[in-house]
Amino acid sequence: MSETNGHGELPDETPDETPAGPHRVIGTPPPAEARTLLGGREPDGDRPAPRELPADPADLRKAKVAERLVAACFIVAMLAGIGFIAAYIGLEVHSVDAVLRSNLALGTSLSVAFLGLAFGATIWVRHLMPEVEITEARKPLASPAEDRAAFAETFTEGADASQFAKRPLLRRTLIAATLPIAVAPIVLLRDMGPLPGTSLRHTVWRKGLRLVEDVSNTPIRPADFSSPGGMITVIPEGYQDDDDALAKAATIIIKFAPGELQHPTVLNWTVDGIVAYSKICTHVGCPVSLYEQTTHHILCPCHQSTFNAPKGAQVIFGPAARPLPQLPITTDAEGYLVAQSDFHEPVGPSFWERG
Amino acid sequence: MANRALDGVGGFLDDRFRGAKSFRTLFKKIFPDHWTFLLGEIALYCFIILLLTGTFLTFFFQPSMTDVIYHGSYTHLDGIRMSEAYASTLNISFDVRGGLLMRQIHHWAADLFMAAIFAHMLRIFFTGAYRKPREVNWLIGIVLLTLGMLEGLFGYSLPDDLLSGAGLRILEGVMQSIPIVGTYLAFFLFGGAFPGHLIIPRLYILHVLLIPGLILALITAHLFIMFHQKHTQMPGKGRTDKNVVGAPLYPYFMAKTGAFFFFTFAALALASTFAQINPVWLYGPYTPVAMSAGSQPDFYMGMLEGALRVMVPWEWNVAGHTFSFNVFLPALLPLGIIFTAAALWPFIEQWITGDKREHHVNDRPRNAPTRTALGMAVITFYGVLWLEGANDIIADHLNIALYTTTRIAQVSMFVAPVLAYIITKRICLGLQRKDLHLLEHGVETGIIRQMPSGEFIEITRPVSEEEQAKLAFPARPPGLPAPDSADENGIPAPGTRGAIGKVRARLNTILTESVELPGSNGHTNGHGADGSGQAQDEPEHAAVPAGGVPDGSQEIAPGAGQADSGSSGDDAPDQ
Ligand code: HEM
Ligand code: FES
């Protein structure tokens, strides 16, 4: 669209381009101008103020070309804008393919519209506006000493008149009056949530509650495992729609060959080499969801804490400080896996009261 | 006819508000130009675009965690239980025309916003633009950066997809780890145990009202202060601490900045057309039971993620209470220290150098070698942790063992910043020597000429006025009096007395280490005598002739000056 100009960057006065415009130092103006600037007297009609910005760019032929280019950019932008509206009206959504088509059309037309405006405006500034470089003096930021002194005087007078300094009783009671009110908003936040109590110490697991497979919600018999193998995510039966319960109760089970499970895994809490651990990482609570069958390592995808499955899910790498708690399991009368009880320690991330 | 409109509209307004004079001043305000000044503008425009697209999103987004069964256009998730928030995000993406585009622009703008703020802040740091009188704006900038991080975190948590839910879970775990108050904080924020049903609506109101309001107020203050104090400028011909050189707001800066707004919007629209971002429908709705591997937060959170990953499993149990050092230390310490140090830095530097002057001409980074080196050290530290935040992906792509990447990070987070410091400082001093060489010997032209004696020499030309002004802008902050200097009565100079004074003097020597460049014009115009009290030049840098180039002179004869600039250096890495 504008291969001759712009190149997508804003003008950046290169030092070797000689400024076409005047170089005026505003800080050191001729006396007449000084009055306008400092005294605020607007220039009067009979003696117009000298021009500060030139009216025309240096190279008028180049400017003519630039003008056409800018107009072309703006026309492209206008057409793209019309295209955007057309695409909105013409293209339906409601399916993945349709959405992608619509996104492409809307996005492209919007981009082109903005690019047209951007390139147009850039060429305009760079090649149509006369170049100027103006030097303006900075005033010191600090007020002059007399202004400060005057302010201090006003302030002191006001303070005296208010009697604030003179009457400590008023001062102190005022402060005393505002303090409780200042604390009130914090007190008001108290009902944002219940107190934790012991809720972090328990999950919904209890004696006899069945372990069901996540998603399919089917109970599990030890015999369903033909051989030792992968990791299965289980949840307490009947809680599949209760995220609050699942956030603590999600559990994994892994079947091991006889003799593979070792201390500190509690063997009494396992059934036929099947062991159940909390799925909630003891670091900051992500569900541990990767299992490497060859090494028997359970890996948390969040910060890569790694737990040794056959040895009580002890931490062998990563920032987690505690093993995954083990859920005591057994089978019920129908031969399905059930919990013997809740976890014997809090699951998930540490907290201050955990101990 | 322009004048008729001016009389009409302008007259109407001025009759009521008396604005002619102030608007004239406003229009004539001078804006210096440098490409790095655009970084802040990008951030500003991103924020405007975030306001616009975000408002559009609020028309359709439902900040609710009520369960619904999905039956929308995205058939892969048909019949799945999910929160209304997630369902409405699917709805925005698949059933609202332009909805996906707006979502993607919003997300890309958030990323660009943060990237621009980071880059802007580094620009301010490395050029010393935070120095007096701009310390307050530096502090506002740090608060803005922090608010931006929070705003982004809360924003990408809103869709309630699997990825963002995991982010919230991590947030909850981190809050719980804070000693004494942590559990309570988490319960109050989430309205009970995780996840509860309140967190999305709460984050929503913070995301669309409270934090944008704060950001808007602070940006306004930031710009007003900038406007009042005027921009800084890079060193160059005719630029001093007492003036500002550039083009007026109207029409130049207005047009340029307008164009730049369009460029920013165009770039975001292009990204959102061709680069998918946060395809939440692929992640699925949040469930506390599942988690996908290789999930990443937005880039500005990566450093915190890395800090959590790199930490060792250190936890104490004392008297029934748990200190989870493995969680709250990495979550709070690295970023906390960086932000606090950044906030204090302008004041620390002022105290060490004793430099109480106003600065309006920026430093070139090489001319403040110690500051630049410190900055690079912090960037390196941040960078190591940031990379560690993606270590699984790095390990995967580079075929390194996962644990090895973490071990490398554990070592390099301490070693790499030190190396970065040393290397950067040497590079800066080397570049300064190169500048000195240019100033003294001129620019090599590549033309070789044979001398009558048969010897070959290369013709040099003197540096131009413009180059001279840029190269020779004062390189060093004014020094404190030397630690053991005493006035004629034998009383040590104030500020260097006692143990603290000694430390300060020592720090000052380190901080002001620099090659001294001749002919610091522009500098002496701007300042009084206090700038020259540099008694304690380190001996190895004293080789520059005191009167090398008289103030304001531009002509440096080729080959004139010192015979060998290398004599001023100990171990310059280049040359
Ligand atoms: C600095 C400012 C802001 C940042 C960094 C930011 C960031 C984000 C991010 C990263 C998302 C996730 C988008 C996604 O992929 O779905 C988001 C979502 C959202 N934002 Fe913002 N945002 C900002 C300002 C605003 C404002 C001012 C509003 C409203 C007035 C807003 C309204 C929303 C809404 C409604 C959503 C959820 C919609 C959805 O996810 O589809 N945002 N924001
Ligand atoms: S949550 Fe599992 S390692 Fe961090």
**Model pLDDT for residues B318-344, shown as the tens digit of each residue:** 989 999 999 999 999 999 999 999 999
pLDDT bracket for residue A4 (50, 70, 90): very low
pLDDT, average across residues A238-265: 95
pLDDT bracket for residue A71 (50, 70, 90): very high
pLDDT, average across residues B168-179: 96
Inside any domain, residue B377: no
Tokens read off for B259: 């164009």
Rg (CA), chain A: 38
> 3-class DSSP state for residue B392?
helix
pLDDT bracket for residue A40 (50, 70, 90): very low
Q: Among the residues of A132-268, which ranges form H helices?
A: 145-162, 168-188, 243-249
Model confidence at A9: pLDDT above 90: no
Task: Give the pLDDT of residue B35.
Answer: 87
Model confidence at A73: pLDDT above 70: yes
Of B99, B263, B321, the CB nearest to A353: B321
Q: Are B307 and B328 in contact (CB under 8 A)?
A: no
Task: Give the pLDDT of residue B439.
Answer: 87
Q: Are A103 and B100 in contact (CB under 8 A)?
A: yes
CA of A269 to the centre of ligand 2 (A): 25
Model confidence at B198: pLDDT above 70: yes
Q: Cβ atoms within 10 A of the Cβ of A298, count?
A: 24
Q: Are B75 and A96 in contact (CB under 8 A)?
A: no
Return d(Cα B392, Cα B556) in angstroms, integer.
Answer: 57
CA of B58 to the centre of ligand 1 (A): 9
pLDDT, average across residues B157-169: 95
Decide whether any atom of ligand 1 lies within 6 Å of the B144 Cβ: no
| B176 or B557, greater pLDDT | B176
This prediction has a pTM of 0.87
Q: Which residues of A touch B330 (CB under 8 A)?
A: 319
Inside any domain, residue B112: yes
Interface confidence (ipTM) of the complex: 0.86
Task: Give the pLDDT of residue B471.
Answer: 82
pLDDT digits (tens, 9 = 90+) for B261-313: 999 999 999 999 999 999 999 999 999 999 877 778 899 999 999 999 999 99
| Structural domain for B252, as ranges | 33-284+301-362
| A193 or B543, greater pLDDT | A193
Q: How many helices (H) and strands (E) does chain B have?
A: 21, 8
Tokens read off for B209: 């009202």
Q: For residues A87, A90, A95 and A96, what is the CA-based torsion angle, rounded to 10 degrees?
A: -20
Return the residue matching tokens 């490395």: B126
The residues that bridge with A24 in the sheet, in sequence order, are A134
Model confidence at B523: pLDDT above 80: no
pLDDT, average across residues B58-74: 97
pLDDT, average across residues B396-421: 96
Please, which residues have CB within 8 angstroms of residue B567's CB and are 6 or more apart in sequence?
B543
For chains A and B, CB pairs below 8 A equal 310
Query: What CATH number is given for A199-354 in this structure?
Result: 2.102.10.10
Inside any domain, residue B434: no
Return d(Cα B15, Cα B58) in angstroms, integer.
Answer: 40
Model confidence at A39: pLDDT above 50: no
Tokens read off for B483: 């630690």
Task: Give the pLDDT of residue B479.
Answer: 53
Task: Give the pLDDT of residue B522.
Answer: 34
Task: Give the pLDDT of residue B460.
Answer: 82
**CB within 6 Å of ligand 2 — which residues?**
A 281, 283-286, 300, 302-303, 305, 318-320
Ligand nearest to the CA of B107: 1
Task: Give the pLDDT of residue B489.
Answer: 60
Q: How far is CA A74 from CA A121, A285, B39, B264, B270, in A?
A: 9, 54, 26, 17, 18
Tokens read off for A49: 């103020």
pLDDT digits (tens, 9 = 90+) for B356-395: 889 999 999 999 999 999 999 999 999 999 999 999 999 9
- DSSP run (H or E) holding A278: strand A274-278
* Beta carbons of B170 and A286 less than 8 Å apart: yes
Model confidence at B441: pLDDT above 70: yes
Inside any domain, residue B122: yes
Q: Which residues of B touch A129 (CB under 8 A)?
A: 251-252, 255
For A202, the closest chain B residue by CA position comes to: B193
Q: Which CATH number goes with the domain that contains B109?
A: 1.20.810.10
Buried b (16+ CB within 10 A) or exposed e, B234-264: bbbbbbbbbbbbbbbbeebbebbbbbbbbbb
**By percentage, how much of chain B surpasses pLDDT 90?**
68
Shortest CA gap A168–chain B (Å): 34
Q: How many helices (H) and strands (E) does chain A have?
A: 6, 12
The residues that bridge with B82 in the sheet, in sequence order, are B68
- What's the total number of domains in chain B? 1
pLDDT bracket for residue B33 (50, 70, 90): confident
Model confidence at A15: pLDDT above 50: no
CA of B389 to the centre of ligand 2 (A): 12
Looking at every residue in chain B, the average pLDDT score rounds to: 86
Looking at every residue in chain A, the average pLDDT score rounds to: 87
Closest-CA residue to A8 (of B264, B122, B253): B264
Interface test with A, best of B263, B305, B312, B465 (most A CBs within 10 A): B263
pLDDT, average across residues B561-571: 35
Q: Cβ atoms within 10 A of the Cβ of B27, count?
A: 13
Q: Are A219 and A211 in contact (CB under 8 A)?
A: yes
Model confidence at A31: pLDDT above 60: no
Please, which residues have CB within 8 angstroms of residue A269's CB and are 6 or more apart in sequence?
A275, A276, A326, A327, A328, A329, A340
Return d(Cα A349, Cα B176) in angstroms, integer.
Answer: 8
Task: Give the pLDDT of residue A25.
Answer: 52
Interface test with B, best of A198, A284, A288, A304 (most B CBs within 10 A): A284
Task: Give the pLDDT of residue A165.
Answer: 87
| B400 or A20, greater pLDDT | B400
Please, which residues have CB within 8 angstroms of residue B272's CB and are 6 or more apart in sequence?
A103, A107, B101, B104, B105, B107, B108
Domain ranges of chain A: 31-192, 199-354
Return the residue matching tokens 């007003």: B224
Shortest CA gap B544–chain A (Å): 28
Q: Are A181 and A315 in contact (CB under 8 A)?
A: no
Task: Give the pLDDT of residue B48.
Answer: 98
Return d(Cα A247, Cα A240) in angstroms, integer.
Answer: 11
Task: Give the pLDDT of residue B452.
Answer: 83
Q: Which residues of B touch A353 (CB under 8 A)?
A: 183, 320-322
pLDDT, average across residues B141-160: 97
Question: Which residue has the least CA distance to atom 4 on ligand 2?
Answer: A303
pLDDT, average across residues A21-43: 42
Tokens read off for B522: 């522009």
pLDDT, average across residues B153-176: 96
The 3-class secondary structure across B69-130, one letter per residue, is ECCCCCHHHCCCEEEHHHHHHHHHHHHCCCHHHHHHHHHHHHHHHHHHHHHHHHHHHHCCCC
Model confidence at A282: pLDDT above 70: yes
> Would strands A23-25 and A133-137 be described as parallel, antiparallel, or unpaired?
parallel
Q: Are B447 and B459 in contact (CB under 8 A)?
A: yes
Locate the ligand 2 atom nearest the alpha carbon of residue A288 and give its number. Answer: 2
Task: Give the pLDDT of residue B493.
Answer: 61
Please, which residues have CB within 8 angstroms of residue B307's CB and are 6 or more apart in sequence?
B330, B331, B333, B334, B335, B385, B388, B389
What is the identity of the amino acid at B119?
A
Rg (CA), chain B: 29
Inside any domain, residue B425: no
* Beta carbons of B269 and A111 less than 8 Å apart: yes
> 3-class DSSP state for residue A334?
coil
